[in-house]
């Protein structure tokens, strides 16, 4: 199943720069592991925002929820998920 997720990060003001840097490192490690195993099929930055659009290829809604809630920055994310279906005009 394909899902498009828009993820926007909103760190609270009380987090130190060191904590933000630590979370960013953990986030990179976690997301690259998901990319390597194929469940995180793509990621695109939103210009001018601390946000991205991500494409996930997973077996179920529950698996996607588990993945999203596993992101180290999850407590600071606003996430909107859109389920995707094949378009009849697609040649792929």
Residue 19 pLDDT exceeds 90 = yes
**What is the share, in percent, of the chain residues with pLDDT greater than 90?**
99
Mean pLDDT of the chain: 97
- 35 touches 51 (CB < 8 A): no
- 9 touches 76 (CB < 8 A): yes
Superfamily, domain 2-84: Dimeric alpha+beta barrel (3.30.70.1060)
> What is the three-class DSSP state of 7?
strand
Domain ranges of the chain: 2-84
Residue 92 pLDDT exceeds 90 = no
Residue 14 pLDDT exceeds 90 = yes
The residues, ordered by sequence, that sit 6+ positions from 65 with a Cβ below 8 Å of its Cβ are none
The residues, ordered by sequence, that sit 6+ positions from 20 with a Cβ below 8 Å of its Cβ are 11
| pLDDT, position 20 | 97
């Amino acid at each position: 199943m394909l899902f498009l997720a828009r993820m926007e990060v909103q760190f609270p003001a009380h987090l130190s720069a060191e904590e933000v840097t630590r979370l960013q490192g953990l986030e990179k490690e976690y997301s690259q592991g998901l990319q390597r195993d194929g469940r995180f099929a793509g990621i695109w930055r939103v210009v001018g925002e601390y946000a991205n659009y991500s494409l996930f290829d997973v077996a179920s809604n529950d698996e996607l929820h588990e993945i999203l809630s596993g992101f180290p920055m999850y407590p600071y994310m606003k996430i909107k998920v859109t389920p995707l279906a094949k378009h009849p005009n697609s040649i792929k």
